[in-house]
């Protein structure tokens, strides 16, 4: 007489997998921060301690600086889209985190686009003959509080990147290393947009690019 013993097998717990990103989305994740890094390498950043020097440099390197600000402006829109791509991976498990990150960072990248527009406007101002008046305009504008509003929006967006990074790590959509780089790179790229140090501007964008690159190693494919 033989007896059969029912055995139960427990499926190993697997991390939350993403819904997959296609080739266009993967390409955008890699290209967008690199476009930002290139733009930042070319543009003449703001220095609110020396507006005259900023305008002088913009006038001396008009073509290069304008190209950099245009690239940074385009990259702001592209990077807002990349957040949407990453947030989509969290939508089924962490809907609130996904939604907050998407809205907050969209506001921040809009603020960055406004800064880029300001850079192009300053480039036009730099060619004016009445330099003392232009410098005074920049000082008064900087002290008026409008720049504080843009900075506050970028701070909120930086928090959005932190929330996104925590969600990516906890749900195991990406590795913890990739999530940390995305959070750090995204937040610092937003907060450093005006300048004044070009190496720092480029480095933060490259950190975000590294985070996106690592994320693509673990993001599921359709």
Whether the bond between 130 and the residue before it is cis, its omega within 30 degrees of 0, is no
The whole-number pLDDT of residue 23 equals: 86
The arithmetic mean of pLDDT across residues 82-107, rounded, is 87
| Residue 118 CB contacts under 8 Å (≥ 6 apart), including other chains | none
Please tell me which residue, 123 or 140, carries the higher pLDDT value: 123
Instruction: Pick the most confident of 3-7, 63-67, 133-137.
Output: 63-67
The arithmetic mean of pLDDT across residues 74-102, rounded, is 88
Radius of gyration of the chain (CA): 22
The arithmetic mean of pLDDT across residues 50-78, rounded, is 94
Residues 132-187: tens digit of each pLDDT: 888 888 888 777 667 788 889 999 999 999 999 999 999 888 899 999 999 999 99
Out of 12-26, 28-42, 62-76, 91-105, least confident range: 12-26
Rounded distance, CA 222 to CA 92, Å? Answer: 16
Residues 180-211: tens digit of each pLDDT: 999 999 999 999 999 999 999 999 999 999 99
Residue 49 has pLDDT above 50, yes or no: yes
Structural domain boundaries in the chain:
23-218
Please tell me which residue, 13 or 166, carries the higher pLDDT value: 166
User: Angle at Cα 127 formed by Cα 122 and Cα 132, nearest 5°?
Assistant: 80
User: Positive or negative, the Cα torsion across 41, 45, 49, 52?
Assistant: positive
Residue 14 has pLDDT above 70, yes or no: no
């Amino acid at each position: 007489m033989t007896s059969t013993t029912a055995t139960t097998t427990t499926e190993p717990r697997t991390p939350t997998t993403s819904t997959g990103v296609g080739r266009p989305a993967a390409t955008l994740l890699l290209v967008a921060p690199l476009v930002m890094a290139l733009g930042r390498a070319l543009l003449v950043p703001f220095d609110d301690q020396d507006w005259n020097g900023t305008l002088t440099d913009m006038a001396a390197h008009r073509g290069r600086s304008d190209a950099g600000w245009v690239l940074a402006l385009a990259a702001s829109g592209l990077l807002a889209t990349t957040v949407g791509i990453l947030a989509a991976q969290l939508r089924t498990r962490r809907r609130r985190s996904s939604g907050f990150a998407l809205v907050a960072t969209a506001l921040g990248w809009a603020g960055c686009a406004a800064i880029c527009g300001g850079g192009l406007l300053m480039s036009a101002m730099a060619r004016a003959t009445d330099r003392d008046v232009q410098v005074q305009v920049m000082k008064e504008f900087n002290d008026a509080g409008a720049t504080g509003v843009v900075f506050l929006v970028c701070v909120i967006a930086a928090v959005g990147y932190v929330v996104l990074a925590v969600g990516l790590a906890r749900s195991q959509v990406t590795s913890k290393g990739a999530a940390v780089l995305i959070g750090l790179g995204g937040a610092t790229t937003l907060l450093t947009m005006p300048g004044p140090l070009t190496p720092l501007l480029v480095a933060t964008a490259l950190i975000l690019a590294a985070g996106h690159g690592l994320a693509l190693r673990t993001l599921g494919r359709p």
